[in-house]
Chains A and B, each alone.
Chain A
Amino acid sequence: MMTQSMSAATSAIAMFEALRQKLGQQVQSVRADRVDEVYILLADADIRPITEHLRGEFGARLVTVFAEDRRSVEGVFFNYYVFEQKGSAQYLIVQAPVRSDTLEFPSLSAELPAVNWQEREIQDWFGLMAVGHPNPRRVALHDNWPDVYPLRKDFPIETVLPPFEGERHIYRPALGEGVFQVPVGPVHAGIIEPGHFNFAVAGEPILYLQLRMFYAHKGTEKLFEKLPIHKAVFLAESISGDSSFSHGTAFCQAIERAAGIEVPLRGLVMRSILLELERLCNHVADIGAIATDVGFVIANAHASRLKETLVTLNEQMTGSRLLRGMVCVGGVRRGWDQAQLDALRITLDSFAREFQDLISLIDRSESVRDRLEQTGVLRPDKARDLGIVGVGGRASGVDLDVRRDHPYATYSRYSFRVPVYQAGDVWHRMQVRIDEVNESIGIIRNAIEDGLQREFRVPVPAIPPDRCALSAVEGWRGEIIHWIRTGPDNLLERCKIKDPSLNNWPALVEAVQGNIIADFPVINKSFNLSYSGTDR
């Protein structure tokens, strides 16, 4: 530990000198909070030179952008730009002050469409202006909201806003002979979450899709600043119900990193197993749902039956079908006895067999293949530009997986393959899921034999205030990021949540173009993004 932090400090000094040479006085300081988490403080809000340098020199990827209101302590807002480099487990976090008199920061969206929504979210929630943004309209608050900035510290969460007036959304008109617009939502035909889609179509093919999300916005990030940490774990589990365990784990990891809590090996192993169980449940359900959307209902009957056996197992392992109430700061809340481990082995074995049957049914159906191949294509170059992550990214050549790139829990102890395809159609998004199911089964089998010590949880000391920490988890959808700053009395000053869905919605817009409107459901399902995770 000692040598680790010393080497982190030395490398931070080296990085500071190198950056100073390139970028001069704009770089104020470099500090390594942890070996894999380095903060670079800038003198002003101009993020462009260092972004160019990091992307150009190191091929770094901008993971996420978010803001924090530090006016009462430091007199400014901060924007945080999280970068990662291929082949390095380190996250570089550039911290850029935004002056509280001008409230402006330069936008990167023109060069990096990946941060389009995230910069606009900062505009809506903090009242900072992304200067030069190509499309600065509201995204996170609807157009009929009054001018409020809910994530500023001087906005009380209990504020009761007056009834909304005026247009909820101002859409760009789609013009042309025979072009008409089809509005869909926020209440959809199936049992799914709310969002509004506005299709511009000419005949059947979709020319242009406009999305309006944030119908499920319920003040989650603000609420994190009010709840004591042990209660906030349950809020994290409710960010996106289908990713309860992933978000819960990402949150607990963030607290553990901030407070320097070391989770015992057994607790980490159990987390790995449960994370993979969550992946299995959702992937098999999605495979069934994709089959349904092209009329192969019998496959879904089997898939949903298999999912039911897995959620039944979830309940046996954790007391909850959604794996809730299991993860906690310091490890997991309960250990497993022999009967539970036996149930895990037996269910996993029969699931593995039956899953192969399911896939062979789908593989044998030419009509399924015919409907899914070449449908909803997201080209690799578009996927890279838009910063698509997770399943949708890997089906379009984006080779990212937090489990491999920034190992957490016990993933560095197991070998597994990260499937990557280039075709980017619905069929390959399903293939990624099929491959990942097989890999997850392998990971769980390895993990069952791993770390059989008794201790799965450590007592949690008082969490020290004013510590920052970044935590990443590869949820079944993709990269989940939580960033926190701790406050006094076991509260949080700030908790930023980035669900992979937030990055990935623009992929849907891209993938549906030129497809017929009747294929929209299956294309949407093949990404299966979380509305609640996006809207928070």
Chain B
Amino acid sequence: MFKILQKTVSTGTVTANYPAEPAKISERFRGRPSFDFEKWKDARPAAEVCPTGAISLSDKGDSRIVTVDYGLCVFCGLCAEASSDQAVRITQEFELATPDRRSLVLTADYTLNADRTHHTLRKVDRRLVNAETDVENLGQKARETIQKILGRSLAIREVDAGSCNGCELEIVALNNPVHDIERFGIHFVASPRHADMLLVTGPVTRNMELALLKTHGAMAEPKVVVAVGACGISGGIFGENYASLGSVDKVLPVDVYIPGCPPRPQALLHGILLAVGRLAERLHNDRAG
């Protein structure tokens, strides 16, 4: 017992104060690839190497539409390596969670030269805006919502609908002393009947479809659904095939999407706190209605 206490005291506090303070992450971390569409002279090498088709091209005559889908991105960094013009840069941004699936998709419209490189940029359609720009206060707001509206606790039921278990590792890490999600009154529960939030990973295999539907059906209203990782959002590298449906929103209405492969714990926390806001809105509406 003495040894246990001694170790506890000598260890001290290790919990990080994200999101009130910025996350401490390695400068090597590969976050969101950012695209300088003006400068980008050729999207073909990046599209060629992208393992999941997150960068895709559609050429018509002498024009090209480049589509970038962060919902498919596995953050491998190959696009930046392949683009010699430095137009693709790997950033450290990870707070990509959003309630709007379409906002994860960018398109750029180019006219082409004879050698199929880009001539001029005609238009960029960029919806990618953080749903919540006030990230530092997201935690405080969620805490208040949980305190006041949710009876001091928010319960999450996690369902692995066929993931590779990478997302599970990071979700488990939310419970370690460093990320400690319980400091917001959020905890993971065994039964969907106790849960306010369903956190789903994986491309949804044919074999998990029914279990996922039943788990969702067992939850009381109001409830929110969060799709985690490239697979949960878009099927990721598995996509759609005879055994995989290819995304959570094929089966359930999704409230928040959290990109990543897997999303790091802070990215998960960011998405979960956003979803708390959605739940609060829904509770409010229910009461008003």
Contacts and interface: CB of A to CB of B under 8 A. Distances in A.
Q: Do A and B bind each other?
A: yes
Interface of A: 142, 148, 150, 155, 157-161, 164, 186-187, 189-194, 214-220, 222-223, 227, 230-231, 233-235, 238-242, 244, 298, 301-302, 304-305, 307-308, 311-312, 315-322, 324-325, 333, 340, 357, 360-361, 364, 530-532, 535
Interface in B241-280: 241-244, 261-262, 264
Interface of B: 3-4, 7-8, 11, 14, 25-26, 28-30, 49, 51-52, 74-78, 81, 158-173, 175-179, 188, 190-192, 202-203, 205-208, 211, 215, 236-238, 240-244, 261-262, 264
Contact of A218 (B30, B175, B238): B238
A238 B11 contact: no
A320 B30 contact: yes
A325 B75 contact: yes
Contact of A241 (B191, B242, B262): B262
16 contacts: A187-B215, A190-B190, A191-B158, A217-B206, A219-B242, A238-B238, A241-B166, A242-B165, A302-B7, A304-B173, A315-B28, A315-B29, A317-B28, A319-B28, A325-B74, A531-B160
A315 B25 contact: yes
A215 B208 contact: yes
B77 to A, nearest CB: 6
A532 B165 contact: yes
B242 A157 contact: yes
Contact of A164 (B169, B170, B206): B206
A325 B30 contact: yes
Nearest to B16: A308
Given A189-B191, A238-B237, 6 more contacts: A193-B163, A231-B237, A241-B167, A241-B262, A325-B76, A532-B163
Contacts of A244: 166
Given A215-B205, A242-B165, A234 B11 contact: no
B175 A304 contact: yes
A136 B192 CA distance: 36
Given A216-B208, A304-B176, A312-B26, A192 B168 contact: yes
Nearest to B10: A357
A305 B11 contact: yes
Contacts of A220: 238
Contact of B177 (A142, A240, A304): A304
A292 B236 CA distance: 33
Nearest to B15: A305
Contacts of A233: 51
Given A218-B205, A305-B177, A308-B173, A241 B28 contact: no
Contacts of A311: 173
Nearest to A300: B176
B3 A361 contact: yes
A361 B7 contact: yes
Given A216-B202, A301-B177, A307-B176, A193 B29 contact: no
Contact of A186 (B29, B167, B208, B238): B208
A192 B78 CA distance: 31
B160 A194 contact: yes
Contact of A216 (B4, B160, B176, B237): B160
Contacts of B205: 215-218
B168 A364 contact: no
B173 A218 contact: no
Contacts of A316: 26, 28
Contacts of A535: 162
A319 B236 CA distance: 19
A350 B26 CA distance: 18
A240 B165 contact: yes
Nearest to A357: B7
A175 to B, nearest CB: 28
Contact of A234 (B160, B179, B237, B244): B237
B163 A216 contact: yes
A186 B211 CA distance: 7
A241 B163 contact: yes
A323 to B, nearest CB: 11
B196 to A, nearest CB: 16
B14 A305 contact: yes
Contacts of B207: 142, 186, 194, 214-217
Contacts of A333: 81
B168 A241 contact: yes
Given A159-B242, A223-B238, A305-B178, A193 B168 contact: yes
B29 A319 contact: yes
B242 A160 contact: yes
A160 B239 CA distance: 13
A316 B202 CA distance: 26
B163 A234 contact: no
B211 A157 contact: no
B16 to A, nearest CB: 10
Contact of A530 (B51, B165, B167, B208): B165
Contact of B190 (A189, A223, A231, A319): A189
